[in-house]
Copies of this chain bind each other. A is one copy, B any other.
Amino acid sequence: MTDSRSGPARKRSKLGLLPTIDTPADLKKLSVEQLPALAQDIRDAICDQVSKTGGHLAPNLGTVELTIALHYVFDFGQDRLLFDVGHQCYPHKLLTGRFKLLSKLRQRDGMAGFPEPRESPYDLFSVGHAGTSISTAVGMARGDQINGEAHRKTVALIGDASIVNGVAMEGLNNAGTLKRQFLVVLNDNGMSIAKPQGALAGYFDKIRVNPHYDDLKRRALDVIKRLPGGSTLEEAYHRLGEVTKAALAHDHLYEHFGLMCIGPIDGHDLPGLVSMLKEVRDIDHPVLLHCKTVKGKGFDFTAGDPTKFHSPKPFVVEGCRVELKQSGRSFTSAFADALIDVMQRDEKAFAVTAAMPDGTGIDKVMGRFPTRTLDTGICESHAMDMCAGMAKTGLRPFFAVYSTFVQRALDQVFQEVALQGLPVRLCLDRAGYVGGDGAVHHGFMDIALFTALPGVVMLAASDEPNLRAGLEFMRTYDAGCSVIRYPRDNVAKKPLQSSPPAFVLGKANLVKPAKKSLGGDLAILAYGAMVYPATEAAKELEQQGYDIALYDARFAKPVDIELIEQLAKAGTPVLTIEDHSLAGGLGSQVLEACNDRRISTDLIYRLGMPAKWVYQDTRDNQLAEVGLDAPSISRRVRDILDRHAKGPLKIHVDVSQATAAREKTVTH
Contact = CB atoms under 8 A, between A and B. Distances in A.
B170 A584 contact: no
A407 interface: yes
A179 to B, nearest CB: 11
B595 A257 contact: no
Nearest to A572: B658
A234 interface: no
A138 B662 CA distance: 62
Interface in A100-154: 117, 124-129, 132, 135-144, 146-147, 149
B385 A132 contact: yes
Nearest to A146: B395
A558 to B, nearest CB: 10
A550 to B, nearest CB: 16
A464 to B, nearest CB: 29
Contacts of A656: 647-648
Given A139-B387, A448-B452, A601 B591 contact: yes
Interface residues of A, number: 151
A1 interface: no
A582 interface: yes
Contacts of A337: none
B659 A645 contact: yes
Nearest to A655: B648
Interface stretch (A297-305, A306-314, A539-547): A539-547
Contact of A595 (B397, B591, B665): B591
B256 A653 contact: no
Given A174-B386, A377-B174, A140 B411 contact: no
A176 B196 CA distance: 13
A268 interface: no
Contacts of A374: 142
A604 interface: yes
A666 B544 contact: yes
In this complex, which of A132, A389, A392, A602 has the most chain B Cβ atoms within 10 angstroms of its Cβ? A389
A164 interface: yes
A602 B666 CA distance: 23
A199 B165 CA distance: 18
A418 to B, nearest CB: 9
A51 B278 CA distance: 60
Contacts of A448: 448-449, 451-452, 584
A351 to B, nearest CB: 13
Interface stretch (A209-217, A437-445, A616-624): A437-445
Contacts of A198: 170, 173-174, 176-177
A147 B393 contact: yes
Contact of A142 (B390, B547, B573, B605): B390
A381 B167 contact: yes
Interface in A582-617: 582-584, 587-589, 591-592, 594-596, 598-606, 611-613
A142 B389 contact: yes
B546 A657 contact: no
A392 B658 contact: no
A501 interface: no
A171 interface: yes
B449 A410 contact: yes
A600 B651 contact: yes
A385 B415 contact: no
In this complex, which of A167, A200, A439, A445 has the most chain B Cβ atoms within 10 angstroms of its Cβ? A167
Interface stretch (A17-25, A236-244, A320-328, A562-570): A562-570
